[in-house]
Amino acid sequence: MTFEPEQLGQSQADLAEKLRDLRKRAGLTGDRLAKRCNMSQSQISKFETGKKTPKLVDVERILRALDAPPELTAEITALARIANTEWQSKRSTWRRGLEKRQRELAALEGEAKALRYFLPAMVTGLLATPEYVRASLTHSPGDTSRTVSRKLERQTVLYDVSKSFTFLLTEQAARWAVVPAAAMAVQLDRIVSLSRLPNVRIGIIPCGTPLARGPMNTFTVYDERLATVENFTGRMVFGDARDVAEYLEVFALFERSARFGEAARELLGAWAGSYRA
């Protein structure tokens, strides 16, 4: 499915309107539809007024209850997928302020219990040294000093043992020289150190590891409820359970091919040594 940014902004209102019109054409009140779907009348009302976005499974239950024809089912189901997806452009993030983005990330990390990070290109901020963080923000506009501070403050979440963290890094991500060689050695040492935390698992996928799927994008999965996927121009946020499940499946595939524990630390240590040399 192709997502256009303007579609993502309008889709919730369009979905609400179509669900409301379909119910009325079926000659049902909101209360009667709610009983057929085993939902509350207030829930149906929120879906139809756009106050709440229904999940894909909710939409499918409503469509079955209304005996919607196949072509309309396909159209509304596609609209529900879009409504459960959010596009956050990099430019809009810059306009809102990078610090606000850091607060949003801190909130996501604070709410989640199991966090999974797939990193095919660079080290993420939670694992980064101050020098690496500063260098990674050089392309961002304005004074980034406070953003650097916020990023480093967020790292304290790693020491919350009520949460579990799994980071998967390709060899490229670990070795990509964002900072000079001596600083890269320190960065790799930092990852080794964090890998010893009891609630942090760091996996390394070396070059040459046979994998049928390519490492297309950086992505993060928060529990089983949200996935964020990044590219050069922004990020997409997937809230539908089926989309999240697909990212969990891809993550599990990469995880099975990664090296953890001492095997990962040996690789990281060797790469740090090559930078020092």
Average pLDDT over residues 103-117: 93
Which residue type sits at 53? T
Q: Is the pLDDT of residue 50 over 70?
A: yes
Top pLDDT among 129 and 98 is at: 129
Q: Is the pLDDT of residue 128 over 60?
A: yes
Q: Is the pLDDT of residue 63 over 60?
A: yes
Give the mean pLDDT of the chain. 90
Top pLDDT among 206 and 15 is at: 206
Q: Is the pLDDT of residue 3 over 70?
A: no
Q: Can you tell me the distance from the alpha carbon of 129 to that of 41, in angstroms, rounded to the nearest whole number? A: 52
Average pLDDT over residues 227-249: 90
Q: Is the pLDDT of residue 152 over 50?
A: yes
Q: Are 104 and 93 in contact (CB under 8 A)?
A: no
Q: Can you tell me the distance from the alpha carbon of 56 to that of 79, in angstroms, rounded to the nearest whole number? A: 9
Q: Are 158 and 152 in contact (CB under 8 A)?
A: no
Q: 264-274: per-residue pLDDT in tens?
A: 999 999 999 99
Neighbours of 110 (CB within 10 A): 11
Q: Is the pLDDT of residue 215 over 80?
A: yes
Q: 27-47: per-residue pLDDT in tens?
A: 999 999 999 998 899 999 999
Q: Can you tell me the distance from the alpha carbon of 206 to that of 267, in angstroms, rounded to the nearest whole number? A: 8
